[in-house]
Structure 1
Amino acid sequence: MKPIKPKLIFHEPDGLPDVALVEATGIDNQFPRHVHSSYIFTLIDNGERKLSVNSTTVTIKTGELCILPPGIPHKCEPISTPESELYSYRALCVTSNYMVRLTTEIYGRYCREPDFDPEIAYTDYDKTSFEDCFTLIHVPGTELERQAALNSFLYHIIEKHSRGERLPRKAGAQLVALQRVKSFIDQNFQRQITLPELAERACLSPFHLQKIFVDEYGRSPQEYVIFKRIKEAQRLIESNTPLIEAALKSGFSDQSHFSKHFKKVIGISPGRFSKENI
């Protein structure tokens, strides 16, 4: 059997600014511990995925859906089998604000973010509307249909599988310090940033900052800098920026270093990503 080339395509549907869709085939990366800033609804189309949340490991099989609320530290990887090159999945990425609006609409009162159990492989979901979300991205002039398909899928998920509202995070001096450090990285990730510099801003020791940053965001400060650079490079590549220029503008000075981290974070090489997404 001829190996299938890895494919990873991102879609931003017209009329749905709070949503992104992902189609992936042949991605064999083992993704280290990380978090997402939005809700991720992932359907395994072929193969199996191992998902580790806290101390629990769950196997998500073909036809099953995984729901990850934002801010949940986790690791994931395809399970190695003779058919592993056929591993494929699709994902809906939805912002917290959109989920809050829909939940409020469903229950007729203001609601916080809905909560879901990331350790469950869901089989009872609206398969038709999920399929429609991906079918309609290739059809022009169907914004209302795309909106209807998305809302139908999410309404069913929220009503049937939400386990209530997500509790707000506790405030405190350390959380404020972490948010200050994260904001600084968000604004300065293209330049060289050192851990002692960040620790000074947080008024914490480098060791303690590293520990609580990982606990809160699923990545170390250094890993978060790399993540921000890769996401900026991804945005530039999708805007048809040449790869070398995208690497330099996002903060990388070495092309091999850029390629290595891009594949680790995104799942495929920058060149392959460029071919699939421009």
Structure 2
Amino acid sequence: MEQGKRSVRFDNELQVEAYCFQGIMQRFPNHFHEYYVIGFIESGRRHLICKNRDYQVQSGALLLFNPSDSHTCEAIDDAPLDYRCINIKRRTMWRVAEEITGKGCLPYFSETVVPDSGLTELLRQLHHMIMEGRKEFDKEELFYFLTEQLIRKYAEPGEGGSSPFIHQEAEKVRLYLETHYEEKISLDKLAAMADMNKYSLLRTFTRLYGITPYRYLENIRVNKAKEFLEHGGEPLDAAMAAGFSDQSHFTNYFKEFIGLTPGQYRDIFRE
């Protein structure tokens, strides 16, 4: 059984959450988040695939994931992972970015991995403040300063980098998954909706979004369950509300994607 420590803390003042994974060997499957992830490797090496690019990520590297950036990673040379990150929801990033730039749009980080970035140390300091429950406003100062530097150095304006040439039929399927996640969905229905055969839909959708339709649906369901748990809901109720067929199936996928059990995640917000 894998050994390791996983800690998460939500900061009410900044409206962000901080993750700390220590001694983790887990392989994370192809997935995405609905929020920005700003992280760094404290120790260990990882093979990362994001936006159809391969990276070997080492200690000190800064990681920048936009919402919906599909990615997967696994250990290199059986080295345990020591990882820190801060998760920023779209609405929080929009507010902060608008204050910094004076423009009402979300930044899009064009670089996923920045080796030896000078901002890694600032992120390390901010992460430590959040995990320690720091109340002084120097934490907020650092958050704004770091975000300003990230946007200035590594971002371009936009709504998340969506291509203007997105295939209309595949986009129709994606939007259907977003709004009907709690229902029983079949590939036959999705293919008919897109007026494609099943293979063509799978190939087109995966090429456009970097993830299969079913994996996309799983991500949506996990993210909806997270929202339910954040408001104190029970894991079983969260599973049903998000469209999972049973709690066991839900727990396995939740831990696979998030690295915590549903109960552990709920308890963060109860605290």
Which of the five TM-score ranges fits, normalised by the shorter chain? 0.7 to 0.9
Other-structure match for 2:107? 113
Where is the strand percentage greater, Structure 1 or Structure 2? 2
User: Using the alignment, how far apart are the partners of 2:106 and 2:146 within structure 1?
Assistant: 19
How many residue pairs get aligned? The number is 269
1:67 Cα deviation from its structure 2 partner: 2.0
Amino acid at match of 1:259: T
CA distance in 2, matches of 1:263, 1:199: 30
- Partner residue in 1 for 2:32: 35
Q: CA deviation at 1:150?
A: 1.0
Instruction: Return the alpha-carbon distance in structure 1 between the equivalents of residues 130 and 115 of structure 2.
Output: 26
Higher mean displacement: 123-132 or 192-201:
123-132
Report what 1:229 is aligned to: 221
Consecutive unaligned residues in structure 2, runs of 5 or more: none
Map Cα deviations across residues 193-250 of structure 1 (whole Å, 9 max, x no partner): 1112122333333222222222233322222222222223333334333333332332
Write the distance in 2 (CA, Å) between the matches of 1:95 and 1:44.
Answer: 21
Q: Is the 8 A contact 2:39 2:64 kept in 1?
A: yes
- Please identify, of 115-124 and 132-141, the stretch whose mean Cα deviation from structure 2 is larger: 132-141
Q: Which residue of 2 aligns with 1:180?
A: 172
> 1:178 is paired with a residue of what secondary structure?
helix
CA distance in 2, matches of 1:70, 1:121: 21
Q: Give the equivalent residue in structure 1 for 2:11.
A: 13
Out of 195, 205, 212, which is 1:220 matched to? 212
Within 5 Å, give how 1:150-189 maps onto structure 2.
150-159=143-152, 161-162=153-154, 164-165=156-157, 169-172=162-165, 174-175=167-168, 177-189=169-181
Fraction of identical pairs, as percent: 22
Deviation at 1:131, TM superposition (A): 1.5
TM-score w.r.t. the length of structure 1 is 0.77
Larger mean CA deviation between 105-114 and 206-215 belongs to: 105-114
Aligned to 1:79: 76
Picking from 62, 65, 72, the partner of 1:68 is 65
- The 8 Å contact of residues 228 and 238 in structure 2, kept in 1 or not, is answered as yes
Secondary structure of the residue aligned to 1:189 is coil
Over aligned residues, Cα RMSD in angstroms? 3.4
The two structures have a TM-score, normalised by structure 2, of: 0.79
- Structure 1: gaps of 5 or more residues: none
Partner Cα distance (1:203, 1:147) in 2: 50
